[in-house]
Structure 1
Amino acid sequence: MGELILIRHGETEWSRSGQHAGRTDIPLTDAGVAAARALTPVLARRHLVAAFSSPLRRAMQTAELVGLPDVKPDPDLMEWDYGGYEGLTAEQIRETRPGWELWRDSVVPGDAGFPGEQLQQVAARTDAVLDRIQPLLRDGNVALVAHGHLQRVLTARWLGLDASAGRLFHHPGPGTLSALGTEHGRPVISSWNVL
């Protein structure tokens, strides 16, 4: 059984400032490009049978920079749609919603471009991804290039936990790698947030 290799896209201006970047298509910074390139030798040592990426530019560019072959864009790997909180920091949101926490309170609807998603909608997308890649893992490792909150939800679902358990995992840094595998037939986190 192969491992599921999770790659968070490289740094963007918004990941640097702490702004919620769900569906806004933001390019990588120079530091984001460098971090993605730094993962190339790590991924070169792993036999990959398939690679998928969020279709957003920051993820697709990261996939290209790390040298993933034949990457297929998958809209189910897009980040949580933050709705009316798109582009805001947690501190800005708490100015109008004291004590706000994404995992508990979710998001408010935005405009037509950012309608917002509830946690269970994000979980349904990650479950669909896991259903599609499970058969591929029998033949080797599968790489997914995606986003921080989505990776945390996906990890919770991999472990058989409720999606809200994603709050228990440290937010993956931009341009980092994590791996999900199995041990004695049970799903585990093999590594997390590795540079």
Structure 2
Amino acid sequence: MSETGRLLLLRHGATEWSTSGRHTGSTDVPLTEVGEEQARGASRVLHRVLEGEPALVAVSPRQRAQRTARLAGLGVPVADGGLGGGEPVVLEDLAEWDYGAYEGLTTPQIREQRGDDWRVFRDGVAPGGQGQPPGEQLEQVAARCERVLERVRPALGRGDVVLVAHGHVLRVLAAVWLEAGPQAGAQLLLDTAAVCVLDAEHGVPGVRRWNLTPGLLT
């Protein structure tokens, strides 16, 4: 790797569904008041860890990610107190995992239906039926993340790149960045509105900072 910038990940702030543990893929739920405050707090983290104005800001097509980006100051001109980075680019490949028949369900509910200790990174999802999202397996999510990385790598030659998206897709993306296999995303726990910094040293991809929130800044 020859990038000079780092890849920063920002998960969206809290929603009613994320707070209750419901799997939220294609359902376009808004941030709660707490989520909006978390997004504003993410701005303080980004101000500390960004090395200059972002070379690129890319966001998920879902409103919860786009609202988080805006409240965090991404795409807002530096002259207006924001972080800059230009108008965020919407990437469909940054959408959350499509949970199919499990959309809107909590893990305990899914396990009760299946009668086992279901884990999304290990067992995947059941295809959606009529009127439900089709569902997506881990390898398909990983392929989307590969496309995202291919899309943003040129911008890393100019500086930091910020991606604003969702918990599971960002965990898969980090695992793909690390060349560890997408299953490794299961071990990369990520809170709402947390910031992560992915980097490379001597051509080896790595994690510089993970799951940063305002209270964890040092």
TM-score range, shorter chain: over 0.9
User: Which protein is bigger by CA-based radius of gyration?
Assistant: 2
Cα deviation, 1:31-57, whole Å, max 9, x if unaligned, reads 000010012133235221100000100
Q: Percent identity?
A: 49
Q: Which runs of 5+ in 1 are unaligned?
A: none
Aligned pair partner of 1:22 in 25, 34, 41: 25
Shift, 1:184, TM fit: 2.1
Whether 1:79 and 2:96 are equivalent positions in the alignment is yes
Cα root mean square deviation, aligned: 1.0
Aligned counterparts, 1:83-98, within 5 A = 83-97=100-114, 98=116
Structure 2 equivalent of residue 150 of structure 1: 169
User: C-alpha distance in 2, partners of 1:39/1:150?
Assistant: 19
Q: Structure 1 segments of 4 or more deviating over 6 A?
A: none
User: C-alpha distance in 2, partners of 1:60/1:21?
Assistant: 15
Cα deviation, 1:114-173, whole Å, max 9, x if unaligned, reads 100011100000000001111111110000001011011101100112111111212x11
User: TM-score, normalization: structure 2?
Assistant: 0.86
User: C-alpha distance in 2, partners of 1:134/1:84?
Assistant: 34
User: C-alpha distance in 2, partners of 1:181/1:84?
Assistant: 36
CA contact (8 A) 2:101 2:132 kept: no
Aligned pair partner of 2:74 in 68, 71, 76: 68
Q: Which runs of 5+ in 2 are unaligned?
A: 76-86, 214-218
Shift, 1:92, TM fit: 0.2
User: TM-score, normalization: structure 1?
Assistant: 0.96
CA contact (8 A) 2:46 2:195 kept: no
User: C-alpha distance in 2, partners of 1:96/1:84?
Assistant: 11
